[in-house]
Amino acid sequence: MRMIAKMHLAFNNALRAVNNKKGQSLVEYLFMLGIIVVVVGLVGVAIKQFMPELFDNIKEKILGQAGQI
């Protein structure tokens, strides 16, 4: 019987800890910040791969239009 009472008390303490909003916002903000850092990093890698090709295309278009003047 004591084991059941201890388990019940531990379960109630765990529920209180989960329902406790104190400190939860910090964890949520850190989680969101981590996701943003990962997304920005992936976008940066993608841009880095396509940037030289993009600049070459822009340069060719500018020089092509300048040659028509």
* pLDDT confidence band for 3 (50 / 70 / 90): confident
Asked if residue 11 has pLDDT above 90, the reply is no
Q: What is the pLDDT of residues 40-59, one digit of tens each?
A: 999 988 888 878 888 888 88
What are the extents of the domains in the chain?
A: 25-69
pTM: 0.44
Quote the CA–CA distance of 12 and 69 in Å, as a whole number.
80
